[in-house]
């Protein structure tokens, strides 16, 4: 079945309130749902009530407390259809269902994780609990009663405020929760189990005290301290920057160990993958701390962008996700180094979203059709959606953007809205027509902007010619020109920025050039000398740029640009041709050679003490193998890409040996661990230096010493990675791996790192390594984090190992996907997206990839999730 945006229709009935009673039991949970409805004014008087359901066992159905006659309703498998309902008065439907949460391996609806009852309802999990209007535009007021064993479930939680708790017969007790804010079913949540809690309070800007509680497994309480701190900072920031105050007396977070995604913003009761809650220096890396801060903020920010204002339908997913990612990006930028944060965002966007947008799974930020909505929780909806929001802020300017947000909160509070509603708010406050801009929501594909420049010394004029192409994507052969806001600057030979005097040929507002035509030439007057154009500063638009600058010009940007992001971007642009050149040489059978001027520029940045260490570490992290593959575009040989990259790392390591030895010393610290950005930056630079030194020396001793001395997980896991990736067969590595596993045997999140490090050791042996790790008693095929750590990391991040020349990696993934699909379709379909770039491979590998996909596609018993991905991946192939 295909769902389309054009088919949207409001429900025939309006849900007012819903009362849920759960009598919890691992195999026989009884759910009683009493809902009050009335017919929507204007709806047909004979329209039946059609509620959604999925794999439900209904044991009773009442209308206004009286059992409904068998001929008044029908269960179709996906729906409950009730006829003959009142025309004008409200009525109450009571549905009783029986669930077996312990057997729910899909992790959608009510399930058990490590003995804890929990729920995941977004997008369509509520229909696995009871028959309901399981769609985001049906907002109701929820009251929830939970009855459970006192012994196994001392903690019983749901949305809103607790309104009562007492004993309930032999060995049992109950708790009742009331949420005054009307909400759609996807924001419902329930948790019950034996959990520890960390408590704090937050006083809101209007002086209300909010109780904050983070629930974790017993014994893990100390590892929730950082998450609590991040939560308080998030609450404060949303007040300061967006004027948003929290709206209940209590805010709860629960960490569970089995979770399909990162986390979920259920009203007042966020449920998290414990990977994004638990952290301490011994077990979490700096990246883990940064992720926790970002995701805690993200889910909290959803309280306004998602919960108070929700989506009319799932086509509008980016309304809450793109906007909330933008908000969490801004939060992290304010908490950390803005430039470095922007660099990591763009790296992520390019390595995840750009490949998606360039392959068979490409879709618009606001799609118009889907078969399975779970397959649209993508980096296009999230990350590109965030970039689109960022562009609105760039075009309108900070102040007007803020006014638009205020209007959005005011106009749509308590409602289910659309992207058009959102954009309209910004049009109204700015009096700008954002019609052309809105194509960013509707046209898929990463625009390519080609740039050429010309300086006329006599006229003192500098002209910039731009041409945009939006490539064809599935279902969208032809595209209209986009409004692309490009931050820019003109850097004069002396390193200063040229003053902008006059411009013709297009719209320029302050430091933003607005490209709106297919091709357009902007001419700047009164430019005293030939400048270097620094374009797309801060990555103001999510595009590819084709702009051939000389090494001298790029170096000018790398050294002088006042925008740090642009300096990083210039170094990156210098690195790419080195890598593609090396690939060409290798595939001809020649040895690669590198431009000493590039290596010199990179080393100059590495040694530049005016630059913050985190920035220098980012500069030294070359474009990834996947960046390189995209740059090459077609006919990729991942082995050649790997060797090219290793050769360049090696050349940099040898030339810069002294600099790296020096950095390794000066960036070390004897102070106690602190997770702040500045300290993390030093660790990052020191660890980068360790990587380059191990390339230069080809000796595991230093990595092994670092491993033995490390007093935090960042350094420890990095040293282990260097050992495992560079010296996979050395005794030092084998010992270190064993020591690491023994030390962290009882800590699943750390063992996940142990699996991931080994899954990314490059080369053709990787597959056998992964297969033998799956046989290890430490592997656990039922836990999504563990599956992602081993199989997911292998398929997404080990390009040479996964795309092995004989196709064995693809065949392996196909078998895994088919197996996992029988238990957890969402996990399976997500793993399968690791093949999204298969068409960029050389013909032989591509053929093997296609066969693996065809094998999946020909299986008779696929989930809708996996079938949808496999079909799209094979379309027109
Ligand atoms: N709304 C959640 C977040 O981004 C993601 C939940 C997605 N879950 C799913 N099963 N599709 O914060
Ligand atoms: Zn979200």
Alpha carbon of 198 to ligand 2 centroid (Å)? 24
Ligand nearest to the CA of 187: 1
CA of 788 to the centre of ligand 2 (A): 20
319 Cβ below 6 A of ligand 1:
no
Which residues contact residue 350 at a Cβ distance below 8 angstroms, ignoring those fewer than 6 apart? 627, 630
Q: Is the CB of 265 under 6 A from ligand 1?
A: yes
Q: Which atom of ligand 1 is nearest to the CA of 125?
A: 10
Q: Starting from the CA of residue 305, give the closest ligand.
A: 2
Residue owning the nearest CA to atom 1 of ligand 1: 264
Residue closest via CA to ligand 1's atom 3 equals 264
Q: Is the pLDDT of residue 423 over 90?
A: yes
With beta carbons less than 8 A apart as the criterion, state whether 171 and 154 touch: no
Is any ligand 1 atom within 6 A of the Cβ of residue 211? no
The pLDDT > 90 percentage for the chain reads 99
pLDDT at 782: 96
Handedness of CA 500, 503, 508, 513 (dihedral sign): negative
CA 382–ligand 2 middle distance (angstroms): 8
Burial 395-424, CB ≥16 within 10 A → b, else e:
bbeeebbbbbbeebbeebeeebbbbebbbb
| Reduced 3-state DSSP string for 103-154 | HCCCCCEEEEECCEEEEECCCCCHHHCCCECCCCCCCEEEEEEEEEECCCCC
Q: Pick from 261, 305, 372 the residue to mutate for probing ligand 1's pocket: most ligand atoms within 8 Å of its CB.
A: 261
Most ligand 1 atoms within 8 A of CB, residue of 108, 119, 121, 122 to mutate: 122
User: Ligand 1 centre and the CA of 752: distance in Å?
Assistant: 22
Please state whether beta strands 532-535 and 507-509 pair in parallel, antiparallel, or not at all (unpaired).
unpaired
- Tens digits of residue pLDDT in 513-568: 999 999 999 999 999 999 999 999 999 999 999 999 999 999 999 999 999 999 99
Closest ligand 1 atom to Cα of 295: 12
Say if ligand 1 is within 6 A of residue 260 CB: yes
Task: State in Å: Cα 855 to ligand 2 middle.
Answer: 33
Residue 321 Cβ contacting ligand 1 at under 6 Å = yes
211-242: per-residue pLDDT in tens? Answer: 999 999 999 999 999 999 999 999 999 999 99
Which atom, in ligand 1's list, is nearest to the CA of 373? 11
Between the CA of 585 and the centroid of ligand 1 the distance, in Å, is: 45
369 in Cβ contact with 3 (< 8 Å): yes
Q: What is the DSSP code (8-state) at residue 480? A: P
Q: Is 372 in the pocket of ligand 1 (CB under 6 A)?
A: no
pLDDT digits (tens, 9 = 90+) for 46-81: 999 999 999 999 999 999 999 999 999 999 999 999
For ligand 2, the distance from its centroid to the CA atom of residue 432, given in whole angstroms, is 29
The C-alpha atoms of residue 533 and residue 557 are separated, in whole angstroms, by 9
Atom of ligand 1 nearest to the CA of 264: 2
- Give the number of other CB atoms < 10 A from CB of residue 50: 17
Q: Can you tell me which atom of ligand 1 is nearest the CA of 302? A: 12
Residue from 299, 356, 383, 612 carrying the catalytic annotation: 299
Q: Which of 295, 377, 380 to mutate to test the pocket of ligand 1 (most atoms within 8 A of CB)?
A: 377
Ligand 1 touching residue 299 (CB < 6 A): yes
| Ligand 1 site, residue 258, Cβ cutoff 6 A | no
Q: What is the DSSP letter of 497?
A: B
Ligand nearest to the CA of 125: 1
Ligand minimally distant from the alpha carbon of residue 266: 1
d(CA 452, CA 465): 5
Cis peptide bond upstream of 484, omega within 30:
no
CB atoms within 10 A of CB 209: 10
Ligand in closest contact with the CA of 262: 1
The beta strands (E) that lie in 285-337 are given as 310-311
Handedness of CA 225, 226, 228, 232 (dihedral sign): positive
**Residue 304 CB less than 6 A away from ligand 1:** no
- Residue 125: which pLDDT band, with cuts at 50, 70 and 90? very high
Which amino acid residue places its CA nearest to atom 8 of ligand 1?
A: 122
Q: What is the pLDDT of residues 182-193, one digit of tens each?
A: 999 999 999 999
264 lines ligand 1 (CB under 6 A): yes
Do 639 and 765 contact (CB within 8 A), yes or no? no
Q: What is the 3-state secondary structure (H, E, C) of 151-220?
A: CCCCEEEECCEEEEEEECCCCEEEEEEEEEEEECHHHCCEEEECCEEEEEEEECCCCCEEEEEEEECCCC
> What average pLDDT does range 321-346 have in this prediction?
98
Q: Tell whether ligand 1 has an atom less than 6 A from the beta carbon of residue 123.
A: yes
Cα 318 to ligand 2 centre (Å): 9
Pair 624, 829: CB distance under 8 Å: no
Residue 738 has pLDDT above 90, yes or no: yes
What is the position in ligand 1's atom list of the atom closest to the CA of 382? Answer: 4
CB 122 near ligand 1, within 6 Å: yes
Task: Give the residue whose CA is nearest to atom 10 of ligand 1.
Answer: 122
- Cβ burial of 117 (10 Å; 0-12, 13-18, 19+) is buried
State the burial class of residue 88 (Cβ atoms within 10 Å of its Cβ: 0-12, 13-18, 19+).
Answer: exposed
User: How many degrees, rounded to 5, is the angle at CA 744 between CA 739 and CA 750?
Assistant: 115
- Closest residue by Cα to atom 2, ligand 1, is 264
Measured by CA distance, the residue closest to atom 11 of ligand 1 is 374
Ligand 2 centroid vs 273 CA: distance in angstroms? 13
Any ligand 1 atom below 6 A from CB of 340: no
Give the list of residues 6+ apart from residue 388 with CB closer than 8 angstroms, or none.
318, 322, 365, 440, 441, 542
| Helices within 431-550 (DSSP H only) | 439-442
Ligand 2 centroid – CA 679 distance (Å):
29
Distances in Å between the alpha carbon of 12 and those of 9, 38, 133, 184, 295? Answer: 9, 9, 11, 16, 37
Is the C-beta atom of 261 inside 6 A of ligand 1?
yes
The Cα 766–Cα 772 span in angstroms is 10
Give the dihedral sign, CA 416/380/542/294: positive
**Atom from ligand 1 closest to the CA of residue 321:** 4
Ligand 1 atom nearest the C-alpha of 306 is 1
**Average pLDDT over the chain, rounded to whole?**
98
pLDDT at 570: 97
- Catalytic status, residue 410: no
- Which residues, listed in sequence order, are joined to residue 502 by a DSSP beta bridge? 525
Counting ligands in written order, which one lies closest to the CA of residue 322? 2
pLDDT class of 808 with cuts at 50, 70, 90 = very high
Structure-token pair, residue 287? 């990246």
Closest alpha carbon to 800 in 582, 610, 621, 643: 643
* Ligand 1 lined by 680 (C-beta under 6 Å): no
Q: Which ligand is nearest to the CA of 324?
A: 2
Q: Is the pLDDT of residue 792 over 90?
A: yes
User: What is the predicted pLDDT for the residue at 606?
Assistant: 98
The Cα–Cα gap between 739 and 718 comes to 15
pLDDT band of residue 877 (cuts 50, 70, 90) is: confident
Whole-angstrom Cα Rg for the chain? 28
Of the chain, the percentage scoring pLDDT greater than 70 comes to 100
Ion ligand 2, residues whose Cβ is below 5 A away: 321, 324
Which atom of ligand 1 is closest in space to residue 298's alpha carbon? Answer: 12
Give dist(CA 694, CA 710) in Å, integer: 17
Give the confidence band of 733 by pLDDT, cuts at 50, 70, 90: very high
Q: Would residue 357 be called left, alpha or beta, if left means φ above 0 and alpha means ψ between -120 and 50 degrees?
A: alpha
| Element at 318 (helix H, strand E) | helix 317-335
Strand-pairing partners, residue 545, are 449
Predicted TM-score (pTM) of the model is 0.99
Of 421, 189, 427, which Cα lies nearest the Cα of 316? 421
Give 243-302 pLDDT, tens digit per residue. 999 999 999 999 999 999 999 999 999 999 999 999 999 999 999 999 999 999 999 999
Q: Using the mean position of ligand 1's atoms as its centre, give its distance from the Cα of residue 125 in Å.
A: 11
Rounded to whole angstroms, the Cα distance separating 760 from 742 reads 20
Q: Measured in angstroms, how far is the CA atom of residue 375 from the centroid of ligand 1? A: 11
From ligand 1's centre to the CA of 349, what distance in Å? 18
Q: Is ligand 1 within 6 A of the CB of residue 374?
A: yes
The SS3 call for residue 61 is strand
Residues 379, 349 contacting (CB under 8 angstroms):
yes
Q: DSSP string covering 348-390, please? A: HIIIIIHHHHTSTT---SS-SEES-GGGG-SHIIIIIHHHHHH
């Amino acid at each position: 079945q295909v769902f389309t945006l054009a088919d949207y229709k409001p429900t025939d009935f309006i849900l007012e309130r819903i009362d849920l009673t759960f009598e919890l039991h691992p195999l026989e949970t009884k759910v009683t749902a009493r809902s009050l409805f009335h017919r929507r004014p204007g709806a047909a008087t004979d329209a039946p009530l059609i509620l959604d359901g999925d794999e439900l066992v209904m044991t009773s159905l009442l209308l206004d407390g009286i059992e409904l006659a068998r001929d008044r309703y029908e269960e179709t498998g996906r729906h409950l259809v009730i006829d003959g309902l009142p025309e004008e008065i409200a009525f109450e439907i009571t549905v009783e269902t029986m669930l077996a949460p312990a057997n729910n391996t899909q992790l959608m609806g009510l399930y058990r994780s490590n003995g804890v009852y929990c729920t995941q309802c977004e997008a369509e999990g509520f229909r696995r609990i009871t028959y309901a209007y399981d769609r985001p535009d049906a907002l109701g007021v929820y009251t929830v009663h939970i009855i459970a064993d006192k012994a196994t479930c001392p903690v019983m939680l749901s949305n809103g405020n607790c309104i009562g708790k007492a004993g309930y017969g032999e060995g049992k007790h109950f708790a009742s929760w009331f949420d005054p804010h009307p909400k759609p079913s996807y924001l419902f949540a329930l948790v019950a189990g034996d959990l520890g809690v960390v408590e704090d309070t937050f006083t809101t800007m209007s002086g209300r005290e909010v109780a904050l509680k983070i629930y974790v497994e017993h014994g893990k309480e100390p590892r929730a301290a950082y998450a609590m701190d991040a939560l308080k900072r998030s609450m404060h920031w949303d007040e300061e920057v967006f004027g948003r105050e929290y709206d209940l007396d209590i805010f709860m977070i629960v960490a569970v160990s089995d979770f399909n995604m990162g986390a979920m913003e259920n009203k007042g009761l966020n449920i998290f993958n414990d990977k994004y809650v638990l952290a301490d220096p011994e077990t979490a890396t700096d990246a883990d701390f940064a992720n926790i801060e970002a995701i805690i903020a993200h889910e909290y920010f959803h309280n306004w962008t998602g919960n108070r204002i929700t989506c009319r339908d799932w086509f509008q997913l980016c309304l809450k996700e793109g906007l909330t990612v933008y908000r969490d990006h801004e939060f992290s930028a304010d908490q950390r180094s803005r430039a470095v944060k922007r660099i990591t965002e763009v790296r992520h966007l390019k390595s995840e979203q750009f490949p998606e947008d360039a392959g068979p799974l490409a879709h618009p930020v606001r799609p118009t059709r889907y078969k399975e909505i779970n397959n649209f929780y993508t980096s296009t909806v999230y990350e590109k959606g965030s970039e689109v929001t960022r562009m609105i802020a760039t075009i309108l300017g900070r102040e007007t953007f803020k006014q638009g947000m205020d209007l959005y909160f005011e106009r749509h509070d308590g409602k289910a809205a659309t992207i058009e509603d959102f954009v309209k708010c910004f049009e109204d406050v700015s009096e700008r027509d954002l019609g052309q801009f809105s194509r960013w929501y509707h046209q898929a594909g990463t625009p390519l902007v080609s740039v050429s420049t010309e300086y006329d010394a006599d006229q003192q004029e500098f002209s910039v010619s731009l041409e945009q192409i939006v490539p064809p994507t599935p279902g969208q052969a032809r595209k209209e020109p986009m409004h692309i806001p490009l931050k820019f600057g003109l850097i004069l030979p002396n390193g200063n920025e040229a003053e902008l005097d006059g411009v013709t040929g297009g719209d320029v507002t302050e430091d933003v050039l607005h490209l709106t035509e297919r091709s357009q030439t902007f001419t700047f007057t009164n430019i005293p000398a030939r400048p270097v154009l620094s374009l797309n500063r801060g990555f103001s638009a999510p595009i590819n740029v084709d702009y051939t600058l000389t090494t001298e010009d790029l170096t000018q940007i790398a050294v002088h640009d006042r925008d740090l992001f642009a300096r990083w971007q210039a170094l990156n642009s210098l690195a790419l041709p080195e890598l593609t050149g090396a690939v060409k040489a290798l595939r001809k059978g020649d040895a690669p050679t590198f431009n000493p001027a590039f290596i010199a520029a990179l080393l100059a940045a590495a040694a530049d003490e005016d630059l913050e260490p985190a920035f220098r570490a980012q500069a030294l992290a070359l474009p990834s193998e996947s960046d390189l593959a995209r740059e090459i575009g077609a006919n990729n040989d991942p082995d050649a890409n790997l060797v090219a990259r290793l050769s360049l790392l090696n050349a940099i390591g040898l030339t810069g040996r002294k600099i790296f030895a020096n950095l390794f010393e000066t960036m070390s610290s004897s102070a106690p661990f602190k997770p702040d950005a500045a300290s993390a930056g030093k660790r990052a630079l020191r660890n980068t230096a360790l990587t380059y030194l191990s390339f230069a020396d080809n000796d595991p001793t230093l990595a092994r010493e670092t491993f033995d001395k490390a007093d935090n997980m960042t350094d420890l896991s990095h040293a282990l990675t260097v050992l495992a990736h560079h010296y996979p067969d050395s005794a030092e590595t084998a010992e270190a791996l064993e020591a690491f596993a023994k030390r962290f045997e009882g800590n699943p999140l750390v063992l996940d790192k142990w699996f991931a490090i080994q899954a990314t050791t490059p080369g053709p042996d990787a597959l056998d390594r992964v297969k033998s790790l799956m046989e290890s008693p430490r592997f656990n095929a039922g836990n999504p984090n563990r599956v992602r750590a081993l199989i997911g990391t292998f398929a997404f991040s080990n390009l040479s190992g996964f795309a092995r020349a004989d196709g064995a990696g693809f065949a392996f993934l196909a078998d895994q996907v088919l197996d996992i699909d029988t238990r957890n379709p969402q996990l399976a379909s997500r793993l399968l997206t690791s093949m999204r770039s298969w068409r960029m491979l050389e013909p032989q590998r591509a053929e093997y990839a296609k066969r693996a996909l065809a094998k999946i596609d020909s299986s008779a018993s696929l989930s809708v999730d996996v079938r949808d991905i496999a079909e799209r991946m094979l379309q027109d192939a």
